[in-house]
Structure 1
């Protein structure tokens, strides 16, 4: 799978990246899907941070989701849909690979900026796919982006 950094995505598709980031920043908690050792899926809650031109996933030390990502970095994260079913701001998810960060300078910079509970695992997101689904009037729109490709929009009534 080809991947890109958040900064690459922002450069390639600034308006789409802004929409996606705002959607994730509307609520604090989101849903992360990882792969268990046996290959089945695990779904857990998680916070997402956007700092230094990157998207970050932080989690408690030795949590199951951290263990999953250390073993197999593939993931999907779904933005919290909010308190009702209006989908006024659309539905957003990102899939890709999570790269664990162990560099003390990077972790120190993240701690100074975000102030997470410590200790923690920090993963930098490498994007494989970004998808936003929205309803406008009586039409459903699915907008997707993959590294090296233009945004693709599919609609149906």
Structure 2
């Protein structure tokens, strides 16, 4: 698994664009796995610090139970609509997936029993409309391939 810092070190421009998509709003969407293996989506917040991507979860939440049972997660950036008159100005969206590893609560944590996690990353992607606005651009990173850029008409 990979830390956010490793991705930033390997491709700082790509990492900055991904981070800006996640920083575009407070609420992200996380996918976890229910006990029966089916997906569950929930709202979450992420923090990008100097090294890692971290998140917390309220005590007793289904999301917290899911992650403690099966730590595989996928997170989607806040969704922003493209401008109707100029879809080429859509900033795109970002996704990351990995394994949530429980970490100690921060010293200033106001919630007793909350769960805190570092996401060990196994994939990051950024999708946006190309220029001219007749194709999608998909940029991604994973440990096996590193950074890649593809287009789709």
Relative to the length of structure 1, the TM-score reads: 0.86
Q: Give aligned pairs, total.
A: 145
Q: Distance in 1 between matches of 2:41 and 2:93?
A: 17
- Comparing 143-152 and 37-46, the one that deviates more: 143-152
Contact 2:82 2:91 in 1 (8 A): no
The alignment status of 1:129 with 2:128, answered yes or no, reads no
* Alignment equivalent of 1:97, drawn from 83, 91, 99: 99
> Over aligned residues, Cα RMSD in angstroms?
1.6
Q: Secondary structure of 1:89's match?
A: coil
The alignment status of 1:155 with 2:148, answered yes or no, reads no
Superposed CA offset, 1:131-154 (max 9, x none): 111102211111110025321111
- 5 Å-filtered alignment, 1:4-153, equals 4-82=2-80, 84-86=81-83, 88-102=90-104, 107-108=106-107, 111=108, 117-119=110-112, 120-136=114-130, 137-153=133-149
Gaps of 5+ in 2: 84-88
Q: Distance in 1 between matches of 2:49 and 2:140?
A: 23
Relative to the length of structure 2, the TM-score reads: 0.88
Contact 1:9 1:147 in 2 (8 A): no
- Comparing 46-55 and 68-77, the one that deviates more: 46-55
Gaps of 5+ in 1: none
- Comparing 117-126 and 25-34, the one that deviates more: 117-126
Runs of 4+ in 1 over 2 A off after TM superposition: 84-87
Q: Distance in 2 between matches of 1:81 and 1:47?
A: 14
